[in-house]
């Protein structure tokens, strides 16, 4: 059995402040439940140490980055869950209703397809639709849906700050 990793309060504080700043800057909200969020941020730091990237603390990471890209926080499923349930799967990110105390965050159904389906879907993905009359390819940020028409995706999504590797060819 693997050992649990200890995370310092100072490390949690530092990451929490950074996430808070970034969330507010791009129109997102972190859960106001301080204790709950500190535990989640601790989980992110554990996964950062364990895998080398901050995989979702509420999902089982494969430990291979290519297989876990969709669950690096913020995950590909966050925005859809915010829209449908008012919180992401972990409830680290919450919508305005939860943020303003009009609704309580709850455990929600898992939107991420199971591993077998993810593998099948990956095999089907082509290089994208034919270019047609577009002068540039269109790239889509899989985290927030931001679209940009340019030779290649930006290094960092200007909207949600996801990294380049999280973009997909859209058109």
Partner 1 sequence: MKPFTHVAGKDCGRIVFYGLSTCVWCKKTRRLLDDLGVAYDYVYVDLLNDEERERAMAEVRRWNPNESFPTLVFNEANCVLGYDEEKIKAAVKL
Residue 114 found at the interface with partner 1 (CB under 8 A): yes
The answer to whether the CB of 42 falls within 8 A of the CB of 7 is yes
Residues between 15 and 54 with contacts to partner 1, criterion CB under 8 A = 36, 39-40, 42-44, 46-47
Interface with partner 1 (CB under 8 A), residue total 27
3-state DSSP call for residue 84? helix
Q: How far is CA 168 from CA 22, 63, 142, 147, in A?
A: 22, 22, 7, 10
| Minimum gap (Å) between residue 60 Cβ and partner 1 | 6
Residues in the chain: 171
According to DSSP, residue 73 is labeled S
Residue 115 found at the interface with partner 1 (CB under 8 A): yes
CA 133, CA 91: separation in Å to the nearest integer? 42
Helix axes 9-25, 34-51, angle to 10 degrees: 100
Reply yes or no: is the peptide bond before residue 51 cis, omega within 30 of 0.
no
Among 13, 24, 97, 110, binds partner 1 (CB under 8 A): 110
Q: Mark 75-94 with x for binding to partner 1 (rule: CB under 8 A) and - for no binding.
A: ---------------xx---
The answer to whether the CB of 4 falls within 8 A of the CB of 45 is no
| Minimum gap (Å) between residue 153 Cβ and partner 1 | 29
| Minimum gap (Å) between residue 109 Cβ and partner 1 | 7
Among 27, 109, 130, 151, binds partner 1 (CB under 8 A): 109
User: Which chain residues interact with partner 1 by CB under 8 A?
Assistant: 1-4, 36, 39-40, 42-44, 46-47, 57-61, 90-91, 106-110, 112, 114-115
């Amino acid at each position: 059995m693997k050992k649990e990793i200890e995370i310092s309060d100072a490390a949690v504080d530092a990451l929490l402040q950074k996430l808070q700043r970034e969330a507010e800057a791009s129109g997102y909200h972190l859960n106001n439940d301080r204790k709950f969020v500190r535990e989640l941020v601790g989980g992110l730091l554990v996964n950062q140490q364990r895998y080398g990237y901050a995989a979702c603390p509420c999902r089982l990471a494969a430990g291979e980055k290519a297989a876990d890209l969709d669950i690096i926080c913020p995950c590909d499923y966050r925005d859809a869950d915010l829209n449908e349930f008012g919180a992401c799967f972990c409830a680290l990110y919450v919508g305005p209703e939860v943020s303003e105390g009009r609704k309580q965050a709850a455990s929600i159904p898992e939107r991420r397809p199971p591993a077998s389906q993810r593998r099948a879907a990956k095999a089907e993905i082509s290089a994208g639709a034919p270019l047609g009359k577009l002068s540039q390819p269109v790239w889509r940020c899989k985290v927030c849906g931001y679209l940009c028409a340019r030779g290649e995706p930006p290094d960092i999504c200007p909207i949600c700050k996801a990294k380049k590797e999280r973009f997909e060819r859209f058109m």
